[in-house]
Amino acid sequence: MFLRTQRLLFLGAHQLVAYRWESGALHDEGRFITGPEGYAAFSAYLQTHPQTTYRLLVNVAEEGYQTETIPYLSGKDRQAVIQRKLGQYFFGAELTCARSLGHEKIKRKNERVLFCALTNNAFFAPWLAALARNQAALASIHS
């Protein structure tokens, strides 16, 4: 069985740093500044590591969080409420998610939900476009 190499990408406000993740240790493999030259260098880096699974860790100010209680729902009704709330809180943000914080034990079992977003699409777009162009396997994005 073939295992893909794991790499961690750490994205800050001014650069992206790539690490090879091996035996629980991180090994620095490259630093790419935010801007056209850095995006091109990052794309070239991705081409040299085709059999890799990437995880993106983000540390930027352009993130938002909201918690809210929603009625007890399931299936498509629950998804519709969550999508509407994400649109209300983070209009236009492409990188959004909602996580259940559990159900209340009182009344109608309302659900507490954490709504999250990385709100500056333009900042993330060049990095994500390079990953897509190179058909890189992006397993997750963490903030």
Q: What does the pLDDT look like over 18-45, one tens digit per residue? A: 999 988 899 999 999 999 999 999 999 9
The predicted model scores a pTM of 0.82
Hey, which bits of the chain come out as E strands?
A: 5-11, 15-22, 25-33, 52-58, 63-70, 95-103, 111-118, 137-142
Tokens for 120? 């500056």
Q: Helix or strand or coil: residue 136?
A: coil
Beta bridge partners of 52: 5
Q: Sheet containing 25-33: give its strands across.
A: 25-33, 15-22, 5-11, 52-58, 137-142
* pLDDT recorded at residue 3: 59
* pLDDT recorded at residue 50: 87
* pLDDT recorded at residue 19: 97
* pLDDT recorded at residue 1: 44
Low-confidence ranges of the chain (pLDDT < 50): 1
Percentage above 70 pLDDT, the chain: 97
- Separation CA 141–CA 90 (nearest Å): 17
| Residue type (1 letter), 124 | F
